[in-house]
């Protein structure tokens, strides 16, 4: 049962923030558009749609509410490029679409709300009323590593032969017949102080 924009915006504001912001609106609109493009009834109750988001924060909250893709359900992944964009993958067909705001969306939002007190409010309300064809751009893409690499395999566990920590869901790296976690294989995002 697809919900309407107003309901989804109220939900993302209530669930995740004190108020609604322009990036939440973009997230909801992007998620709703993904549902239209894939002909899916969203938010989903299953795990058919996978969202690969390119930034964290408010944008992803809007996507989560509108699609039913959540971190905890393993249907949302962060590909931290610092961009307000997301790729959606139909896990049944493998079809992937990357959706982002049009490059001129911020400026065009001003045309829809010319009496807004500032740019922030123009974007907040403009993004809600702009047609998809002016607000969003969609591009069919192919996943570089394939769908199986992203989904992994629940229930699989191996141990890193360097640090001894457990690695879940086939996220290990094989190097010279050695099983490594990603932190031991490359530069980890942390440095141990011991």
* DSSP-based helix, strand, coil % in the chain, nearest 5: 35, 20, 45
pTM across the whole model: 0.86
d(CA 79, CA 51): 10
Residue 3: per-residue pLDDT: 77
Q: Of 1.10.730.10, 3.10.580.10, 3.30.1330.130, 3.40.640.10, which CATH number belongs to 5-148?
A: 3.30.1330.130
pLDDT, position 1? 57
pLDDT of residue 148: 78
Closest CA to 165 of 157, 153, 173: 157
Q: Which CATH number fits domain 152-185: 1.10.10, 2.60.40, 3.30.60, 3.40.50?
A: 3.30.60
**Per-residue confidence (pLDDT) for residue 86, from 0 to 100:** 98
> With the C-alpha atoms ordered 164, 165, 168, 171, is the resulting torsion angle positive or negative?
negative
Of 55, 132, 50, residue with least CA distance to 95: 50
Q: Counting Cβ atoms within 10 Å, is residue 46 exposed (0-12), middle (13-18) or buried (19+)?
A: exposed
Q: Where are the chain's structural domains?
A: 5-148, 152-185
State the pLDDT at residue 191: 83
Nearest to 130 by CA among 155, 105, 98, 164: 105
Q: Going residue by residue through the chain, which has 194 residues, state the pLDDT in tens, using 9 for 90 and above.
A: 567 898 888 888 887 677 899 999 999 999 999 999 999 999 999 999 999 999 999 999 999 999 999 998 989 999 999 999 999 999 999 999 999 999 999 999 999 999 999 999 999 999 999 999 999 999 999 998 888 777 766 778 999 999 999 998 888 889 989 999 999 998 788 887 87
């Amino acid at each position: 049962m697809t919900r309407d924009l107003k309901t989804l915006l109220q939900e993302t504001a209530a669930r995740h923030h004190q108020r609604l912001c322009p990036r939440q609106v973009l997230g909801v609109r992007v998620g709703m558009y993904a549902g239209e493009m894939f002909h899916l009834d969203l938010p989903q109750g299953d795990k058919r749609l996978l969202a690969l988001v390119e930034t964290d924060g408010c944008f992803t909250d809007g996507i989560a509410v509108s699609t039913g893709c959540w971190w905890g359900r393993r249907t949302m992944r962060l590909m931290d490029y610092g961009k307000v964009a997301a790729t959606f993958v139909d896990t049944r067909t493998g079809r992937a679409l990357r959706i982002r705001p049009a490059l001129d969306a911020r400026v065009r939002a001003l045309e829809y709300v010319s009496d807004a007190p500032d740019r922030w409010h123009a974007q907040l309300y403009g993004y809600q009323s702009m047609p998809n064809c002016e607000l969003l751009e969609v591009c069919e893409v192919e996943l570089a590593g394939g769908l199986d690499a992203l989904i992994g395999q629940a229930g699989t566990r191996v141990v890193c032969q360097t640090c001894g920590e457990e690695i879940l869901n086939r996220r290990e790296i094989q190097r010279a017949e050695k099983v490594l976690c990603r932190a031991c294989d490359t530069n980890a995002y942390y440095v141990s102080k011991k």
